[in-house]
Structure 1
Amino acid sequence: MSKKLEANGLWELSRMMLPQHKERIIQHRTQIHYQVRPIIHEDEWEIIAQNIDMSLNYTLQSTIEVFNEAGNRYIHGIVTTVSTYGKKIKIEIDNGFEWVDLDQLVAVKLEEGGVHGETDF
């Protein structure tokens, strides 16, 4: 019987790798897999705007999901300022505040109110 037909012989005997293939494999192994920014529907933008407004006006604690290529991050705090000119919101967190671009928002959810986390406004 031929060695090609035993175990992994077919693969082992016909190996060939170009330098470009090897370079691409090394690049793929070392590369961090980045996410693509999601496209947010107009209805979702309305919900985000309403939750920002409620957090601002009623000083409600909210969770803000901010897009990041390596993985979204979450900020827990209260919206204190909305800058329409700079397209940013200022969030008061435990150790100060943070400015977040409106373009980087993925979701804004209120943490207080209601039986299941909904607000009664």
Structure 2
Amino acid sequence: MRKEELFVKRGNLLWEGSRMMLPEHKEGWLKLQQQESYIPLHEPLSEDSWQELGEIIMDAIRQQYDTTVTFWHDGRYHSLDGKVTKYDDLNKRIKLLLSDDYEWLNLRMIKDVCRKH
């Protein structure tokens, strides 16, 4: 049997043993990945930024236009597209109507709200 045939038949011998991963190794690797990609919560918004954000939210509620809301959750920034339908002043949160569901978002976690074009 030629060397090329042996290689094709048995695969890359250098990496044959590395396909197995113990659950402990996988768990540790995933935890390390999460720690490396963790983004701390953004600094509190300035008074001007809060006012601008509030105006955008109230305008979005009145005119019912589509918005993109960027917010922080579990160490990452996420974006959701939908319509802001309600502002809860008591709990400091907004209700975002998605295509088939809704999401309550805490104002402290929101980084940006912009009109979707």
TM-score norm. by structure 2 comes to 0.66
* CA distance in structure 2 between the aligned counterparts of 1:71 and 1:86, rounded to whole angstroms: 22
* CA distance in structure 2 between the aligned counterparts of 1:104 and 1:71, rounded to whole angstroms: 11
Equivalent residue, structure 2, for 1:32 = 35
Runs of 4+ in 1 over 3 A off after TM superposition: none
How many residues are treated as equivalent by the alignment?
A: 86
Equivalent residue, structure 2, for 1:95 = 100
The letter of the residue matching 1:57 is R
Contact kept? 1:36, 1:69, Cα under 8 Å: no
5+ unaligned residues in a row in structure 1: which ranges? Answer: 1-25, 113-121
Contact kept? 1:79, 1:90, Cα under 8 Å: yes
* CA distance in structure 2 between the aligned counterparts of 1:74 and 1:92, rounded to whole angstroms: 13
* CA distance in structure 1 between the aligned counterparts of 2:91 and 2:40, rounded to whole angstroms: 24
TM-score norm. by structure 1 comes to 0.64
Between the aligned residues of both structures, percent identity stands at 20
Equivalent residue, structure 2, for 1:12 = none
The letter of the residue matching 1:95 is D
Which structure dedicates a bigger proportion of its chain to helix?
A: 2
Contact kept? 1:48, 1:108, Cα under 8 Å: yes
Secondary structure in 2 aligned to 1:72? strand
The letter of the residue matching 2:35 is I
The two structures, once aligned, show a CA RMSD in angstroms of: 2.0
The letter of the residue matching 1:37 is L
5+ unaligned residues in a row in structure 2: which ranges? Answer: 1-27
The letter of the residue matching 2:83 is I
1:83 paired residue among 85, 88, 92:
88
